[in-house]
Amino acid sequence: MVSMTTPSTSRAADLEAISRLVATVEHSQVNKDPEEFLGLFHPDAIWTTGHGKVLIGLDAISEFTRKVLPSSDWDGRVTYEVAHVLFIRPDVAAVKVRQRYLTPDDESEGAPLYVISKQDDGRWLLTACQNTPVVT
């Protein structure tokens, strides 16, 4: 049987995979799970934290994440939502994310930008990311 994949079904599958990637980022942050989070990165990724720390390569991202994520004192709720996807090429997308931090007394927002790349096995991985707080 020959599989018929049209550009629109392929694009829909990519958008679904991108939504799952962002949902996994959320899950890893909520559960303070560095291994789940790190599994989403391209080995040569670049990550800039919300405080401007630049991390180049998975080793640097791993060292930072394993130190900071499990010890985070964040006790509220955080949500991540895909706000916009721009396909730069069929295998590269810029993903604007709406990040919300919620506590009983406060709410704040972030506006990360994830440039992600589709691997030969079909997985989308975080490749160049900037985590930016929204200042109101």
Whether 2 maps to a domain, the answer reads: no
Cα separation values, 44 from 34, 51, 54, 131, Å? 17, 21, 13, 17
Per-residue pLDDT of 7-31, as tens digits, reads 677 999 999 999 999 999 999 999 9
Domain extent at residue 78: 7-130
Q: What is the CATH number of the domain that holds 25?
A: 3.10.450.50
Average pLDDT of the segment spanning 83-92: 97
Residues 90 and 110: their CA atoms lie apart, in Å, by: 27
The single-letter code of the amino acid at 135 is V
Q: What's the pLDDT at 136?
A: 78
Q: How many domains does the chain have?
A: 1
- Cβ–Cβ < 8 Å for 84, 96: yes
Q: What's the pLDDT at 7?
A: 61
pLDDT at 1 over 90: no
Whether 33 maps to a domain, the answer reads: yes
Q: How far is CA 72 from the centre of its chain?
A: 18
Whether 135 maps to a domain, the answer reads: no
Specify which residues 97 forms β-bridges with: 82
